[in-house]
Amino acid sequence: MIKVVLHNGRTEEIEGPKQVRQILKELGILENTVLVARGEDLLTPDRIVQDGEIIELIPVISGGFL
Amino acid sequence: MKCRVCKSLAVISLPRHNSAFCKEHFFEFFYNQVKKAIKEFRMFRPSERILVCVSGGKDSLSLWHALTVLGYPADGLYIDLGIGGYSEKSKEMAEKMANLLGRRLIIVEFGREYAPVNVVAKRARRSECSACGTIKRYYFNRVALEEGYDVVATGHNLDDEAARLLGNILRWHIPFIAKQLPVLEEENELKKKVKPLCRLTEQEIAAYAFLNRISYIRDECPMSQDSTSLLYKRALNLIEAESPGTKHFFYLEFLKQRDIFSVSPTNHDRTGIKRCEICGSASQTDICSFCRLVSYLQPLKT
């Protein structure tokens, strides 16, 4: 299984191998709202993640106006 | 995906530019967008003193970092609003960046001097985001004036500006729309304000921060979780996912055609500036919005 670490500390497990794009789709997350990191690398939506690998989803949206 | 420039493995995909870049060429793209904004909107020259308003988040810290890399020596201003652990953590990030860049960080302890922003907002019957905005705008200008900075830079990005534009259009706030520019020129003791990241999305800025290993506060401000700006950003991101480039076109095309929103002078203009009877700073009314806001705390102080 692929371990997906979410921002709020929760983790999800998804069967691999799978494209980043498909993982985000399964989790209901828009591609333009997160960065997908594997260790110190950023993954583009076409990259394939294998079973046993860990990826982290980093949210990019911040709120409030000055 | 391959980098559009060198064909090596890409680290980021930019559908709005129909491109993908490796780390090196993404940085090149990023700096070009910042330089383009600075030049196109005549924001500042390297000889001018720049004060970057830093919140500890990715946008302002990346702005400070990028300006320094591009040869614009800038100092930072952090305003501690007294939001418990969130403020402590964000201040720590700002201090860390100041150390990394070897630049000065000015810290204003609003929460300690007056009260936490949520207390101020409650007393004044305003939203936390509204009170926060009033406090920050006041100190940006005051500190820049007192410390002799030529220009104040904020980390507002393309998503911020597009979301704000959408919100203003949905309510037809024409005077706000007419004034929603990446540069507000200096006038009547109101310092020049600029937004050098206005051509970059939040995702691009987050990638810049990640790839440069910039430590920033990832938690959303606890006060802003229900803000309408987040709603508008979600709506725009949904459209963007289906139609890449819409957000970019929406905001940057507005800037080209903003003259159609020109309006007669209103109380949002910087003309007709008076002096606040309490603090003496430039104000559109007898008492400035900051002094009005903190006046609600008077019973607390006695």
Assign B145 to helix, strand or coil.
helix
A residues 3-62 near B, CB within 8 Å?
Answer: 7, 30-35, 37, 41-46, 58-62
At B226 the pLDDT is 63
Instruction: From chain B, pick out residues whose CB is under 8 angstroms from the CB of A57.
Output: none
Radius of gyration (C-alpha) of chain A in whole angstroms:
12
Q: Considering its fold, how many domains does chain B have in total?
A: 1
Closest residue to B207, CB basis, from A31, A33, A35? A35
Domain-embedded: residue B128? yes
From the number of C-beta atoms within 10 Å of its C-beta (0-12, 13-18, 19+), residue B120 rates as: buried
Length of chain A: 66
Q: How confident is the model at residue A66 (pLDDT cuts 50, 70, 90)?
A: very low
Is A64 at the interface with chain B, CB within 8 A? yes
Closest residue to A35, CB basis, from B206, B233, B240? B206
Residue A64 pLDDT greater than 70, yes or no = no
Q: Is A60 close to B221, i.e. CB distance below 8 A? A: no
The edge-to-edge listing of strands for the beta sheet with A41-42 is: A11-14, A2-5, A54-59, A34-38, A41-42
Q: Is B229 close to A64, i.e. CB distance below 8 A? A: yes
Instruction: From chain B, pick out residues whose CB is under 8 angstroms from the CB of A64.
Output: 129, 132-133, 221, 223-224, 227, 229
Assign A61 to helix, strand or coil.
coil
At B282 the pLDDT is 86
Domain-embedded: residue B89? yes
At B300 the pLDDT is 54
Instruction: From chain B, pick out residues whose CB is under 8 angstroms from the CB of A21.
Output: none
Domain-embedded: residue B155? yes
Which CATH number does A2-59 carry?
Answer: 3.10.20.30
Q: How far apart are CA B107 and CA B91, in angstroms?
A: 9
Q: Which of B63, B220, B246 to substitute to test the interface with A, most A CBs within 10 Å?
A: B220
Domain-embedded: residue B154? yes
Domain-embedded: residue B140? yes
Helices (H) and strands (E) in chain B, counts: 13, 10
Domain-embedded: residue B102? yes
From B163's Cα to the closest Cα of chain A, the distance in A is: 10
**Residue B76 forms beta bridges with which residues?**
B52, B105
Domain-embedded: residue B223? yes
At B223 the pLDDT is 77
Q: Is B133 close to A66, i.e. CB distance below 8 A? A: yes
Instruction: From chain B, pick out residues whose CB is under 8 angstroms from the CB of A60.
Output: 58, 201-203, 205-206
Report H helices in B76-225: 84-101, 110-113, 117-124, 128-147, 158-170, 174-178, 202-211
What is the CATH classification number for the domain harbouring B145?
Answer: 3.40.50.620
From B77's Cα to the closest Cα of chain A, the distance in A is: 14
Tens digit of pLDDT at every position of chain B (302 positions): 999 999 999 999 999 999 999 999 999 999 999 999 999 999 999 899 999 999 999 999 999 999 999 999 999 999 999 998 889 999 999 999 999 999 999 999 999 999 999 999 999 999 888 899 999 999 999 999 999 999 999 999 999 999 999 999 999 999 899 889 999 999 888 999 999 999 999 999 999 999 999 999 987 777 776 678 889 999 999 999 999 999 999 999 999 998 888 755 544 455 567 889 999 998 889 999 999 999 999 765 54
The pair of structure tokens assigned to B51 is 């004060």
Domain-embedded: residue B215? yes
Residue A38 pLDDT greater than 90, yes or no = yes
Instruction: From chain A, pick out residues whose CB is under 8 angstroms from the CB of B201.
Output: 32, 60
Domain extent, residue B84, equals 39-264
